[in-house]
A = this chain, B = another copy of it.
């Protein structure tokens, strides 16, 4: 995704337009004409027409004069969008989203996300590590980040109280993105809905195989020769949200449950990072329960 024009001496701002609308003749020309009309230069454009739903999707990355604000561009494109019945977002690139990372006892994903952020591989502004356990506390501290421990205590309403505390915390943190980096408690719809399209989970299986608990145990008992991991936006139904990224690894009879778990860790870290990066770079569009992931 080489987005840096080579000839320019001063770098113009880059914006990303994400569009979805019913497929009609002339959309591409309309969008390209608008970009040209505001003096923009298209650096990358990818489009996709979904035949089964007759929907059109496009990602247009363009540079523009820094005398034109993003707000002006946004207002300008709104008229085009109205004509074509489009949903769209227009975003600056790069822009580091304020991010909360949630985890439980397994730390490989959160450690990986923090390391990538540190060495510049992921454009995140991580503002908090949050967990129902305290195992990640030293790690967060190592990376100079606040750690919030939100445990499930004893008592009849313990779980509901924990969820309320967590919800309030996420609100107070005012984040743009929530990453569930092996956070092992199921979230209730009330906690999920505000973050629709902005909450990414890693599931430690190749969904939809082995939905639910202990997928590596399930995979072992079924004797599969391939395991996988799935990163998806969180929806109301557990393990059912739109898939952003998946990857797999070969396994054999030699791998017991512990081995599958260990091999799965590598998959989980890489797949989650890949999904988060695609989201941060505005390359993901969702429709129904599916995604378009450009480039």
Contact = CB atoms under 8 A, between A and B. Distances in A.
A73 interface: no
Question: Which range contains the number of A residues in contact with the other chain?
Answer: 35 or more
A47 interface: yes
Given A111-B115, A112-B115, A225-B245, A254 B35 contact: no
Contact of A222 (B40, B107, B221, B289): B289
A52 B256 CA distance: 8
Interface in A20-70: 25-26, 28-29, 32-33, 35-36, 40-52, 54, 57
A9 interface: no
Contacts of A289: 221-223
Contact of A28 (B6, B42, B250): B42
Contacts of A228: 226, 248
A51 B41 CA distance: 13
A7 B108 CA distance: 30
A2 B258 contact: yes
Contacts of A221: 289-290
Contacts of A210: 208
A86 B111 CA distance: 43
A295 interface: yes
A238 interface: no
A22 to B, nearest CB: 11
A262 interface: yes
B28 A28 contact: yes
Given A29-B32, A208-B209, A209-B209, A270 B266 contact: yes
Interface string A231-270: 0000000000011111110101111111100100110001
15 contacts: A2-B49, A2-B52, A28-B42, A29-B35, A29-B36, A48-B254, A52-B220, A112-B112, A118-B139, A207-B209, A221-B290, A222-B289, A225-B246, A226-B247, A253-B291
Interface of A: 1-2, 4-7, 25-26, 28-29, 32-33, 35-36, 40-52, 54, 57, 106-108, 111-112, 115-116, 118-119, 121, 139, 142-143, 206-210, 220-226, 228, 242-248, 250, 252-259, 262, 265-266, 270, 273, 289-293, 295
